[in-house]
Amino acid sequence: MIKVKITGAKVIANKFSRASQRLDDTKKIIDQEVDLLMSRSRNKAPEDTGALKASQFKIPLKNDGYGYRVGFRKFYAPFQEFGTLRSYKATGEYAEFDKFASTFRVSQDKSGKGNRPRRYFLHFYIIARKSILRKTGTVVKNIFK
């Protein structure tokens, strides 16, 4: 008869058990940050008629992992966010949105007709994204410590 003893098997089993619990922790972090993003952006959204605020949505992702699609359904939401007077000049963390934002420029003349950017969503999105990455990164890093 041959006896085989694997040392550390219990430690590995505990780490996997802890990893499952940490996955639940990351889901809680995502839920909290998305809810915070939604409340902040809803509070800062322009409120001429209230239709923009009422069009806010949160849809769970399917087949793409855990998360949500969050935004505003009104067609004019990006026009409010990026403005229509001049082309959007994005720097730093906002640079990834520069090409997208430039499509909402409407006013070509110097009459001044149009609206200035009203940062009600993008700023809070970037804050939430950074917070989620920082918090979940720490949780994941500590799983197998």
Phi/psi of residue 12, nearest 5 degrees: -65, -40
pTM, to two decimals: 0.77
pLDDT tens, position by position, 14-36 = 777 777 778 888 889 999 999 99
Whether the pLDDT of residue 83 is over 70: the answer is yes
3-state DSSP of the chain: CCCCCCCCHHHHHHHHHHHHHHHHHHHHHHHHHHHHHHHHHHHHCCCCCCHHHHCEEEEECCCCCCCEEEEECCCCHHHHHHCCCCCCCCCHHHHHHHHHHHHHCCCCCCCCCCCCCCCCCHHHHHHHHHHHHHHHHHHHHCCCC
Q: Which of 21-30, 69-78, 97-106, 120-129 has the lowest mean pLDDT?
A: 97-106
pLDDT tens, position by position, 89-108 = 667 777 888 777 777 766 55
Tell me what pLDDT residue 47 has. 83
Residue 4: which residues within 8 A CB-CB, separation 6 or more?
A: none
- What value does the mean pLDDT of the chain take? 82
Closest CA relative to residue 79, chosen from 51, 118, 43, 108: 118
Q: What is the mean pLDDT of residues 110-116?
A: 68
Q: Which of 44-48, 64-68, 101-105 has the lowest mean pLDDT?
A: 101-105
Residue 59: which residues within 8 A CB-CB, separation 6 or more?
A: 68, 69, 70
- Separation between Cα atoms, residue 8 and residue 77, nearest integer Å: 56
Q: What is the mean pLDDT of residues 108-121?
A: 73
